[in-house]
Amino acid sequence: MNAPQRFALRGDLLDFIATPARADPDSAALRFRRDHWLLIDAGRIVGAQPAAPGADWQRVDHAGRLILPGFVDTHVHSAQLDVIGSWGAQLLDWLETYTFPSEQRFADAQQAQRGSNAFLDALLAHGTTSAAVFPTVHKGSVDALFEGAAARGMRVIAGKVLMDRHAPPALRDDVEGAEGQCEELIARWHGQARLAYAVTPRFAPTSSDAQLAMAAGLLQRHPGLYLQTHVAENRAEVQWVAQLYPQARSYLDVYERFGLLGQRAVLAHGVWLDDADRALLQQHGAMLAHSPTSNLFLGSGLFGWAAAEDAGVHISLASDVGGGTSLSMQRTMADAYKVQAMAGTRLSAWALLHAATRGAATALGLGHEIGSLEGGASADLCIWDWATSPVAKRRQQVARDLHEKIFAWITLGDERDLIESWVAGERRYRRADAR
């Protein structure tokens, strides 16, 4: 859809103006504007008002529906849609059995293009308009992902996966060749459209010392790049890293020793971190991408949200498909709640929703651009039904307050509630039966 330059969307607007406390259902950080018009001009939000705008604005009426910022998924794998829901393995076995064979197919340019386009369309069909993405070790997989994201106007952070050891030969690179490919990709894509490059060592075991040092060199030469990797996801993985790096105090310390931590570092999982690790993350301003659905499905463990937050660490939410079993950030939020409930922490709906929108955007240094319905931000937003199933509709009818309504929307809903996804002021997804 080619949207007009000036148009207004009517609905119930919800976003955040500050960071909510994790267990406060009455948080003042929330901004809810019932039955308002959101004004959009040339792809950006320019205001909101209760009264209908003048005749010079094209009006799109979604009264009675929920309008949210597009979700920000801070850790997801574009080549793993085909292994989602794979049975019977923990992390290391799962990589060998399912993930690596799937990623090898992205050596083919046509497969990389088809797979990347299917992945991006699936994100939009789940209400995710921005994402930090792992493609594969193949340069072509990065080109295909960025080309597809640019065509859709999406905000995507990605980079060639670095792996020069402890991986199948078909997925291994070498330090010199990988460095050259990264430089080419950075020159072509970083800062183009709404794209950013992330130096992407898969995890410490699959990159040699020389490759990790090379990754640090890329970050030093190109200060605006991101760093994304995995850390302390699984106990067996942590033990393996300890064997490979006996001189390091911890798994995270490996990355610290190579100069890989910083304000643009996105570290997935962090299930098995300690207080010293969390202090180090806070010191560097790095982010943890909490992946509750994946952690539960692979039996990796329970993330310590309260400990990380109390240490001042940025926390965002991530689907981690294909270890995660859904691209839906509603399901991700619902699983995050359950994980923390087992640890004795009751996350509010606001804490969950913030971590998937404004909180993630801010941690990425993009809070001015995405994650809110603030004037000046890009018009990346999604329109939702409050409920679609009979049970969810009944729950919405009896909800006592807004927090109950949103919490029920999170825990009882999924992508079937999504009406439309808009990216930079253009509609990029519409549910087939939507009216």
Domain extents for the chain?
A: 6-69+381-430, 71-327
Neighbours of 299 (CB within 10 A): 12
- Do 62 and 34 contact (CB within 8 A), yes or no? no
Mean pLDDT of the 355-369 span: 98
pTM of the full predicted structure?
A: 0.97
Beta pairing, strands 426-430 & 418-423 = antiparallel
- Given pLDDT bands bounded at 50, 70 and 90, which one contains residue 93? confident
Hey, what amino acid is at 413?
G
Examine the pLDDT at 1 and tell me if it is beyond 80.
no
Pick the CATH number of 6-69+381-430 from 3.80.10.10, 2.60.40.1180, 3.30.420.40, 2.30.40.10: 2.30.40.10
Q: pLDDT tens across 142-200, in order?
A: 999 999 999 999 999 999 999 999 999 999 999 999 999 999 999 999 999 999 999 99
Tally: H helices and E strands in the chain: 16, 16
DSSP 114-160: HHHHHHHHHHHHTTEEEEEEE--SSHHHHHHHHHHHHHHT-EEEE-P
Question: How far are the Cα atoms of 251, 301, 329 from residue 203, in angstroms, in the given order?
Answer: 10, 18, 24
Q: How many other CB atoms are found less than 10 A from the CB of residue 426?
A: 15
3-state SS assignment for residue 111: helix
Residue 3 predicted with pLDDT over 70: no
Residue 339 has a pLDDT of 97
pLDDT, position 89: 73
CATH architecture classification, 71-327: Alpha-Beta Barrel (3.20)
pLDDT at residue 274, as a whole number = 98
